[in-house]
Structure formats: C-alpha cells, structure tokens
C-alpha cells in the first residue's frame, strides 16, 4: 500500500510540476534552482567550519598534543618519541600555519564581508573576535606574522608583509574593543546563526572579546616598549563590567562542546581510536602528587596494571619509553579523550589567574591577589566537578613576594592542563614552572621558544620572510625568543 500511495503522489506531483512549467515559463530559472546548493552563501554557513577547524587544530592536532601539551610537559610521548625530543616535522610546522590562515581565517573574512553586505554588524563583530583569537595563536607560535595584510589574496595581496608581535597585540587589543562595542544584544534582526561555539549568545561573545583582550594585555604588561598604554586598557575593562563584561563563572567558559558522532567528536578521541602514543608527563604528575592535588584523578588514568599514577619523562629514547610499558604508565585522563570532551579556548579559572597577576603587579581594579588566587584554584577544581578542600588551600596559601608569584604561575600551569599552547606561552613568558629540556633533544638543550616559519614562506614570500627574521634578530629556528618573552 505504501508503495502505491507514494507512486500516486509522485505522479500527481510530477503532473502538477509540468502544468505549472507550461503555464508559466518565465519562472523556469526559479524552478531549476537547487535550494540545497545556494549560489549566494550566508554567514551562518561559514560559522561551523570556521569555528571547528580552528579548535580542532588548537586542541587536538599535533600542534595541540605534541607542541602545546608536549613542550609544556603536561603530556609526554611513549611511542614515536622524536617529537618529544624537539624534532618537529615540517608537516606540523606547515600545516598549522596553513590551516589557520587558509581554513579558519578565510572563513572569518567571509563572515565579516557577508555581515557588512547584509548590515548585520553582529556577524562582523563575531568574525573579528574569532580572527583575533586565531591571530593571537599564530603570533604566539611563530612570532612576527602577516597580520594587517593577511588573508587579502582575493584583493591581489599575495606577498603580505609581517607585523611585529607587539604591533599585532596592539592591533588585536583595538579590534577586540571595537568588536565588543559593536555587538548589539537587543536587536533581534541581528541574531547570528551557525554558532556552534556560544549558541548565538551575544553577551557571551562580548565576554569572550574582553576576556581574550585581558589575556593579550597580560602578555604586554611588563614590556616597556609596548605601543599602547597597557595598564589603562586593563583598567578600562575591569572598571566597567557593564560595558566590558568578562567571564563570570565556569558557565561562561569559552569552549567547543564536541558531539559523540564522527566528524564532530573531539579530535583527541578520534586520534585514540588508532593511536596510543601519549601519556601524562612525569613533570606534572610528580608536582600534583607532591601537592596532593585532586585534579590528578581527572588529568590522568591509573596504569592499566594498577598502582599509583605514573607519568612518563619527556624526550625518552624509543627503547627507554617502550621499557616503561604501555600498561604500566598513566594515560591522559578519560575526561580529555572522550568523544564529547570540550575543546576549551578560555576558562574562568584562567581569567581569575590573569586578574590575580594584575593585582600582584599593582593594578587595583583587578582586586586582591590572594583572594583571586584562591578563587582561581577553586574555579579550576569546579571546572571538573571537584570541590577543592580547605586543607589544599591552606597548604598552598599564597606567600609574599617572588615566592608567591611562583606559586601563582605554577597553579596556573596546572589549571591550563589540556590548553597546551596557552601553557607553553605562559612558560615562555614567565619561565615558570622550571622546565628542563630532556637529555635527548635536538634543540641544543633549549626548551623550544617558537616554531619556525614554514618553508612555503621562504619560497613564496622570501622578501617579507627574511625581513621578519632580521627584525627579530635571529634565525628561523626553535630558539629565537619572541617579543613577549624577552
């Protein structure tokens, strides 16, 4: 019966279609337009790919797992350990640059242009916030980068000049302020679609913009040659929470909530379906065991053979790593390897640590250092549904002076677990915690300070590539110190 009914309805529909075509041939183009293959794209179509492509690279690719989490000594390799000895393949170097510029930033540029063409300024603001985040990643990874002249290939600019890192930061600070000011949370006609990051919540986008701005300003705070008044910009944000809201709880965490099914599952989960190359680093395991830190139960799994948490030292030879045993060492915690594990871009705990550092450095609008420090530790525990014990806070009470600053940054390093690139940047900026290059390394005993520019830049954009290296005073290697770390 169903087949007969369908056949009747299908024939009737076809007959009606032919009648309408013969009666109104001037609508031929409309009839033959495929609604599923639009000739003019809308901004919401570019949003999902633009967001996920960037988070996938940042969080779960080799860049996130081996460079960020590996160099910061949150994770270590137990198989194929060359990258843990700082032998970084050209694929990692080139693909990160390519994917951020050609995939993510290109999408944000399209979103921005469509927003301008349609009068939806909220799309423009969101595009600026996303591209500011990706540009901040690029400059933190490579140093000076194409910024002002970047992603202008369609306009004929195929060899963009590089901007100094301090100028990139200053530009991003200004752009994030403008984006926050531009967002209109009341005009329903300017709602945004395709937002898999913050579900179209424009207030959260303002919080993202201002909180990211504070992260960048923190990078600049101690630099005497910063091209803007950094303290004034920090105070501007912190003194006017109504106009410049920031993250206020873990519910505000900027994170991509992955889904269970491929291709929208967490990329680390996808990696673990065929690979088992990573373990938690002995550096962070030993630190957390010494502190009696409850977060270790989330950060790592106990060895399959049982016993205490056991991390793997970074940079072992393949034979030494193999001798430790896959089943006798601690894997990265299931929380981080599950299909739906969130890809965290910026957390409330991180923001509180940033504010605590501001307070430590005399910015009164931030609050009180010790209070913010305790709140940050509490928020980090709460992020994983843990309750920090009063005994832990007492045992780790903030000390005075430089010792207290070391505590602050060590706790931030612990809290940034999973956000490896951010942990690496903070280590390079502060030198805290004390990380030692593994005995087996290919970087002359130096913990890498950056990734080299990809070979494509040397071959296709040599004049600007060479000028960027000269202005930074070094070679295209992994030992060149970036502006924020000098």
pLDDT classification of 154: cutoffs 50, 70, 90: low
pTM of the model: 0.91
Distance of CA 237 to the CA centre of its chain: 22
Query: Cα(332)–Cα(326) distance, rounded to whole angstroms?
Result: 12
pLDDT classification of 152: cutoffs 50, 70, 90: confident
pLDDT classification of 157: cutoffs 50, 70, 90: confident
Q: Is 142 exposed, middle or buried (0-12, 13-18, 19+ CB in 10 A)?
A: buried
Q: What's the pLDDT at 477?
A: 97
Q: What's the pLDDT at 28?
A: 35
Q: Is 305 exposed, middle or buried (0-12, 13-18, 19+ CB in 10 A)?
A: exposed
The 10s digit of each residue's pLDDT in 66-84 is: 999 999 999 999 999 999 9
Taking residues 42-50, what's their average pLDDT?
A: 97
Taking residues 420-448, what's their average pLDDT?
A: 98
Q: Quick one: which of 93, 110, 179, 119 has its CA closest to 151?
A: 110
For residue 115, what are the CA distances in angstroms to 22, 32, 45, 288, 296? 39, 28, 12, 47, 44
Percent pLDDT > 70 in the chain is: 91
pLDDT at 32 over 60: no
Taking residues 189-218, what's their average pLDDT?
A: 98
92 close to 83: Cβ distance less than 8 angstroms: yes
Q: Quick one: which of 438, 463, 461 has its CA closest to 448?
A: 438
Taking residues 396-405, what's their average pLDDT?
A: 98
Q: What's the pLDDT at 23?
A: 35
Q: What's the pLDDT at 2?
A: 33
Q: What's the pLDDT at 158?
A: 81
Query: Cα(164)–Cα(454) distance, rounded to whole angstroms?
Result: 18
Query: Cα(435)–Cα(427) distance, rounded to whole angstroms?
Result: 8
Q: What's the pLDDT at 450?
A: 98
186 close to 204: Cβ distance less than 8 angstroms: no
Q: What's the pLDDT at 126?
A: 98
Q: What's the pLDDT at 27?
A: 44
Query: Cα(325)–Cα(18) distance, rounded to whole angstroms?
Result: 71
pLDDT classification of 37: cutoffs 50, 70, 90: low
What does the mean pLDDT of the chain come to?
A: 92
Taking residues 457-473, what's their average pLDDT?
A: 96
Q: What's the pLDDT at 60?
A: 86
What region, left, alpha or beta, does residue 229 occupy, with left being phi > 0 and alpha being psi -120 to 50 degrees?
Answer: beta
CATH number of this structure's domain 43-262+342-485: 1.25.40.390
For residue 54, what are the CA distances in angstroms to 366, 452, 457? 31, 20, 21
Q: What's the pLDDT at 408?
A: 98
pLDDT classification of 13: cutoffs 50, 70, 90: very low
- Domain definitions of the chain by residue range: 43-262+342-485
pLDDT at 295 over 70: yes
Q: What's the pLDDT at 35?
A: 53
Q: What's the pLDDT at 40?
A: 64
Query: Cα(392)–Cα(439) distance, rounded to whole angstroms?
Result: 33
429 close to 484: Cβ distance less than 8 angstroms: yes
């Amino acid at each position: 019966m169903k087949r007969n009914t369908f056949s009747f309805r299908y024939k009737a529909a076809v007959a009606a279609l032919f009648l309408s075509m013969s009666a109104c041939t001037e609508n031929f183009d409309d009839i033959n337009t495929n609604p599923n293959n639009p000739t003019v794209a809308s901004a919401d179509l570019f949003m999902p790919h633009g967001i996920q492509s960037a988070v996938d690279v940042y969080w779960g690719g080799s860049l996130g797992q081996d460079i960020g989490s590996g160099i910061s000594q949150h994770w270590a390799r137990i198989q194929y350990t060359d990258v843990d000895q700082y032998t970084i393949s050209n694929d990692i170097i080139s693909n990160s640059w390519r994917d951020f510029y050609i995939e993510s930033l290109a999408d944000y540029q399209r979103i921005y242009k469509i927003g301008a063409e349609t009068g939806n300024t909220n799309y423009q603001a969101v595009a600026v916030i996303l591209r500011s985040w990706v540009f901040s990643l690029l400059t933190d990874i490579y140093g000076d980068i194409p910024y002002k002249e970047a992603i202008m290939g369609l306009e004929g600019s195929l060899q963009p000049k590089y901007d100094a890192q301090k100028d990139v930061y200053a530009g991003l600070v200004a752009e994030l302020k403008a984006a926050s000011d531009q967002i209109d949370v009341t005009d329903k006609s300017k709602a945004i679609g395709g937002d898999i990051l913050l579900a179209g919540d424009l207030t959260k986008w303002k919080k993202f913009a201002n909180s990211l701005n504070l992260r960048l300003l923190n990078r600049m705070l101690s630099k005497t040659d910063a091209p803007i008044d950094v303290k004034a910009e920090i105070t501007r944000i912190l003194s006017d929470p109504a106009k410049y809201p920031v993250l206020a709880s873990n519910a505000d965490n900027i994170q991509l909530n992955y889904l269970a099914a491929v291709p929208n599952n967490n990329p680390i989960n996808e990696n673990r379906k065929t690979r088992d190359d990573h373990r938690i680093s002995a550096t962070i395991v030993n630190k957390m065991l010494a502190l009696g830190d409850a977060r270790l139960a989330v950060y790592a799994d106990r060895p399959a053979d049982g016993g205490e948490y056991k991390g793997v030292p970074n940079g072992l030879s393949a034979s030494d790593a193999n001798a430790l045993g896959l089943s006798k060492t601690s894997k990265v915690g299931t929380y981080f390897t599950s299909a739906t594990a969130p890809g965290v871009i910026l957390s409330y705990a991180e923001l509180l640590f940033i504010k605590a550092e501001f307070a430590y450095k005399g910015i009164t609008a931030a609050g009180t250092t010790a209070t913010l420090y305790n709140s940050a530790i509490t928020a980090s525990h709460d992020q994983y549904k843990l309750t920090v014990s009063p005994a832990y806070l007492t045992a780790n009470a903030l000390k005075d002076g430089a010792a207290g600053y070391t505590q602050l940054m060590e706790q931030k390093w612990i809290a940034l677990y999973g956000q490896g690139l951010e942990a690496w940047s903070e280590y390079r900026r502060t030198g805290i915690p004390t990380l030692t290059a593994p005995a087996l390394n290919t970087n002359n005993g130096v913990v890498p300070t950056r990734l080299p520019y990809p070979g494509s830049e040397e071959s296709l954009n040599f004049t600007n590539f060479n000028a960027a290296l000269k202005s930074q005073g070094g070679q295209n290697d992994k030992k060149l110190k970036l502006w924020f770390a000098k």
